[in-house]
């Protein structure tokens, strides 16, 4: 180590601030945001709950900016970083006060712009009822820009009432929710109703369109042709539980003229398959500003998964990625890791039940560690991950300790050896962490106890889930004792099975169990975890 670096190590005292110092700043921001002032009288007073959320975001943003500044001054003592930290916090705080309460804004917006008939029991809607319900949409000078007809099933008579009303609103509608609006109708009637609504809405300039839960298939998608073909400015498109097969996916791609403004695209619970995923990948390639992509439970295998992974490279501004419950395998994990390395703004990633195994998990963990600067949610449940991958995953978690809110590695095969590695990583300060899920991982008494000790004292922590493991009765009592002053932070243990792991010789079960615990106890001594007093 050169003399400059040594001097810096001895002289740095002001940056980074301790976690307790950061928390003090958060409390001060909360106090300022909730204290009446000239600005709050003008723009509205924030509730304590809203102020708490805003304060955490303000402090985190200011900390990141100050840290980046500090890294550019290798000889600094942190003074200027502290000044930037305080100044940026103050600026952001004033911005929030001037913005005013979000809740108030949302309520006013809803009253003036949203027309929603989805509340109440799911039911058929007849012509007379439709005529009465939709009267507000016919009032002169109404300001409705968003309509929701979800949860009410329209027949041909009711649709005939709706069509002229929708036609009259073409110039002002920006958001349309037609999810679950033909339930229980015959295929012939349902398709006709879809065509009637589609024709009435043709030419609207929508930013948001939800046609989920309509069992559309290719016929249903094409019944929406008039509407889809007229949309070039969509920002959000939802096609959940729509029977989107290969042919239907190709129809979606064919009909929508442009997705250059698309920010949210959701396919979930469809029968898309590999060929359908390949078609969807064409949408992704033409969606350069996409921020949120969901393609979960869509029966996509390796070929389709690779196509999606490669196409997502176009969407470098992605913030949320959900690919859960597909048949990807290791090959897709490797392909996806190359793309994930481009996602510097990623905040949430859901990669559960993808058959990634250790090999796919490791490459993804290393890619995420070097990207995703503000990762908040990491979910990789059900991927046959063992203790061999624990070290790299723990490095990822530590690298994102300032931003992580939720970690889920449930339904894997980490066992106590793997969990101890994560427990060591979780000893670090995780200022935003609220949930940790290691359920169904073959964890025994020692692993459960150490996890409990690590998270129980973390500020803001809300839930530890270690259900479905092999914790002995004594271990369960240990964990409950650790959480005796905060039992609400411990998830249920009703699916725990103390006899869940069989050994080769059943007569030696107890001795084998004790041997495992003895070995783990020796490892625990190295963790230096503080015991409950």
For 433-452, what is the HEC assignment? CCEEECCCCCCCHHHHHHHH
Tell me, what's the pLDDT at 502?
Answer: 45
Q: Is residue 189 part of a domain?
A: no
Confidence of residue 19 (pLDDT cuts 50, 70, 90): confident
Name the nearest CA neighbour of 427 among 531, 520, 533, 528: 528
For the entire predicted model, the pTM comes to: 0.76
Distance CA(290)–CA(310), nearest Å, equals 14
Q: Averaged over 57-79, what is the pLDDT?
A: 81
Q: Is residue 176 part of a domain?
A: no
Q: Is residue 74 part of a domain?
A: yes
Q: Is residue 405 part of a domain?
A: yes
Q: Which helix (H) or strand (E) holds 523?
A: helix 509-524
Output b/e per residue, 286-305; b: 16+ Cβ within 10 A. Answer: ebeebbbbbbbbbbbbbebb
Confidence of residue 24 (pLDDT cuts 50, 70, 90): confident
Lowest mean pLDDT among 135-144, 364-373, 517-526: 517-526
Q: Averaged over 418-445, what is the pLDDT?
A: 97
Distance CA(252)–CA(249), nearest Å, equals 5
Indicate the DSSP class of residue 507.
G
Tell me, what's the pLDDT at 42?
Answer: 65
Q: Is residue 372 part of a domain?
A: no
Lowest mean pLDDT among 79-83, 145-149, 205-209, 260-264: 79-83
Q: How many Cα neighbours within 13 Å face the side chain of 21?
A: 9
Q: Which helix (H) or strand (E) holds 153?
A: strand 152-154
Q: Which residue has tokens 């990141």?
A: 64
Q: Token digits for 175? A: 């958001």
Q: How many Cα neighbours within 13 Å face the side chain of 349?
A: 28
Name the nearest CA neighbour of 446 among 529, 330, 358, 340: 529
Distance CA(348)–CA(292), nearest Å, equals 9
pLDDT at residue 524 greater than cutoff 80: no
Distance CA(377)–CA(406), nearest Å, equals 5
pLDDT at residue 522 greater than cutoff 70: no
* Other beta carbons less than 10 A from residue 57's beta carbon: 15
Q: Token digits for 43? A: 């723009």
Strands 320-322 and 292-296: parallel
Q: Is residue 120 part of a domain?
A: no
Tell me, what's the pLDDT at 75?
Answer: 64
Phi, psi torsion values for 118, nearest 5 degrees: -85, -15
Confidence of residue 39 (pLDDT cuts 50, 70, 90): low
Confidence of residue 50 (pLDDT cuts 50, 70, 90): confident
Tell me, what's the pLDDT at 445?
Answer: 96
Q: Is residue 193 part of a domain?
A: no
* Other beta carbons less than 10 A from residue 146's beta carbon: 19
DSSP 487-500: GGGBPP-TT--TT-
pLDDT at residue 528 greater than cutoff 80: no
Strands 123-125 and 236-240: unpaired
Name the nearest CA neighbour of 237 among 218, 215, 210: 210
Q: What percent of the chain has pLDDT over 70?
A: 88
Q: What total number of domains does the chain contain?
A: 2
Tell me, what's the pLDDT at 38?
Answer: 64
Report the sign of the C-alpha dihedral through residues 332, 338, 343, 347, in that order.
positive
pLDDT digits (tens, 9 = 90+) for 158-181: 999 999 999 999 999 999 999 999
DSSP reduced 3-state for 353: coil
- Of 71, 99, 127, the residue at which a domain comes to its end is 99
Q: Is residue 391 part of a domain?
A: yes
- Asked whether the bond before 243 is cis by omega within 30 degrees of 0, the reply is no
- Of 66, 99, 132, the residue at which a domain comes to its end is 99
Distance CA(225)–CA(405), nearest Å, equals 42
Tell me, what's the pLDDT at 513?
Answer: 45
Output b/e per residue, 408-434; b: 16+ Cβ within 10 A. Answer: bbbbbbbbbbbbbbbbbbbbeebbbbb
Q: Averaged over 489-514, what is the pLDDT?
A: 67
**Domain ranges, residue 67:** 19-99
- CATH number of the domain at 57, please: 1.10.246.200
Lowest mean pLDDT among 98-112, 255-269, 275-289: 98-112
Most confident of the following: 85-89, 95-99, 257-261 = 257-261
Distance CA(266)–CA(268), nearest Å, equals 6
DSSP 29-64: HHHHHHS--HHHHHH-PPPHHHHHHHHHHHHHHHHH
DSSP reduced 3-state for 374: coil
- Of 62, 77, 99, the residue at which a domain comes to its end is 99
Confidence of residue 521 (pLDDT cuts 50, 70, 90): very low
The CA R_g of the chain, rounded to the nearest whole Å, is 27
Confidence of residue 41 (pLDDT cuts 50, 70, 90): low
pLDDT at residue 497 greater than cutoff 80: yes
pLDDT at residue 385 greater than cutoff 50: yes
- CATH number of the domain at 527, please: 3.80.10.10
Tell me, what's the pLDDT at 78?
Answer: 79
DSSP 232-297: S--SEEEEESS---HHHHHHHHHH----TT--EEEEES---HHHHHHHHHHHHHT-TT--EEEEES
Chain centre distance of CA 289: 18
- 281 touches 315 (CB < 8 A): no
């Amino acid at each position: 180590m050169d003399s400059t670096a040594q001097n810096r190590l001895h002289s740095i005292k002001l940056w980074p601030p301790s976690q307790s110092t950061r928390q003090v700043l958060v409390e001060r921001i909360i106090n300022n945001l909730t204290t009446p002032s000239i600005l709050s009288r003008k723009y509205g007073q924030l509730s304590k709950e809203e102020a708490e959320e805003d304060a955490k975001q303000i402090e985190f943003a200011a900390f990141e900016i100050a840290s980046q500044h500090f890294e550019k001054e290798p000889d600094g003592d942190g003074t200027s970083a502290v000044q930037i930290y305080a100044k940026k916090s103050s600026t952001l705080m004033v911005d929030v006060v001037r913005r005013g309460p979000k809740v108030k804004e949302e309520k006013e917006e809803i009253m003036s712009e949203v027309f929603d008939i989805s509340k109440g029991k799911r039911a058929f809607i007849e012509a007379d009822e439709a005529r009465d319900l939709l009267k507000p949409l016919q009032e002169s000078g109404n300001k409705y820009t968003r309509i929701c007809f979800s949860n009410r099933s329209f027949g041909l008579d009711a649709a005939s009432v709706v069509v002229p009303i929708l036609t009259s609103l073409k110039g002002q509608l920006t958001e349309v929710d037609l999810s679950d609006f033909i339930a229980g109708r015959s295929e012939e009637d349902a398709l006709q109703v879809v065509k009637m609504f589609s024709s009435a809405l043709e030419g609207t300039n929508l930013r948001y369109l939800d046609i989920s839960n309509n069992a559309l298939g290719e016929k249903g998608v094409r019944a929406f042709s008039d509407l889809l073909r007229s949309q070039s400015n969509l920002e959000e498109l939802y096609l959940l539980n729509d029977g989107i097969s290969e042919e239907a996916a190709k129809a979606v791609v064919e009909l929508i003229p442009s997705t250059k403004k698309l920010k949210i695209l959701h396919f979930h619970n469809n029968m898309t398959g590999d060929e359908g995923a390949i078609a969807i990948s064409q949408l992704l390639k033409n969606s350069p500003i996409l921020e949120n992509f969901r393609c979960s439970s869509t029966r996509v295998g390796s070929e389709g998964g690779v196509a999606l992974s490669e196409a997502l490279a176009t969407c470098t501004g992605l913030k949320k990625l959900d690919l859960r419950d597909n048949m990807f395998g290791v090959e897709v994990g490797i392909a996806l890791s190359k793309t994930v390395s481009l996602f510097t703004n990623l905040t949430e990633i859901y990669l559960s039940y993808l058959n990634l195994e250790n090999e796919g998990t490791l490459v993804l963990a290393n890619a995420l560690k070097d990207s995703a600067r503000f990762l908040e949610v990491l979910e990789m449940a059900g991927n046959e991950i063992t203790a061999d991958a624990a070290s790299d995953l723990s490095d990822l978690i530590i690298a994102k300790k300032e931003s992580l809110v939720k970690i889920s590695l449930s339904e894997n095969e980490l066992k106590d050896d793997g969990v101890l590695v994560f427990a060591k990583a979780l000893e670090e300060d995780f200022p935003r962490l609220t949930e940790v899920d290691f359920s169904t991982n073959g964890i025994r008494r020692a692993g459960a106890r150490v996890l409990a000790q690590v998270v129980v004292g973390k500020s803001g922590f809300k839930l530890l889930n270690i259900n479905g493991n092999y914790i002995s009765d004594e271990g369960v009592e240990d964990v409950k004792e650790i959480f005796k002053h905060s039992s609400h932070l411990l998830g249920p243990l009703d699916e725990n099975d103390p006899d869940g792991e069989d050994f080769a010789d059943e007569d030696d079960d107890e001795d084998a169990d004790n041997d495992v615990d003895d070995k783990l106890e020796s490892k625990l001594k190295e963790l230096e975890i503080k015991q409950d007093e």
